[in-house]
Amino acid sequence: MKYGALNNIRGKVTSIKTGDIMSLVKFEVVLPAEMASVLTTESVENLQLKVGDEVALVIKAIHVLPVKDA
């Protein structure tokens, strides 16, 4: 998948707090020590995110976009 963001780091999903519309997903990363992303629950489900998954964290402006390799 191509995207315009130039900054990305690898992280591991450490927790997922799911709501009806939005979900909070926290990631363990080397630097900084931890990051978090708020995204739609539909996106969490579409990415099939689970605690322990390794994902790329794409940082663009104020957003952290999880990208899971297929």
Residue 15: which CATH number?
Answer: 2.40.50.100
The structural domain count of the chain equals 1
Express each pLDDT in 44-65 by its tens digit: 999 999 999 988 888 766 777 7
Percent of the chain whose predicted confidence (pLDDT) is above 70:
77
Cβ proximity of 14 and 26 under 8 Å: yes
Confidence at residue 70, expressed as pLDDT on a 0 to 100 scale: 61
Show the domain range for 35: 7-67
Would the pTM count as exceeding 0.85?
A: no
Q: With bands split at pLDDT 50, 70 and 90, how would you rate the model's confidence at 9?
A: confident
Which of 59 and 24 is assigned the larger pLDDT?
A: 24
User: What is the spatial distance between Cα 12 and Cα 62, in angstroms, rounded to a whole number?
Assistant: 20
Angle 68-66-6 from CA coordinates, rounded to 5°: 105
Q: Are strands 54-60 and 7-18 parallel, antiparallel or unpaired?
A: antiparallel
For 15-24, b where at least 16 C-beta lie within 10 A, e where not — what string? eeeeeeeebe
Residue 2 included in any domain: no
> What's the one-letter identity of residue 36?
A
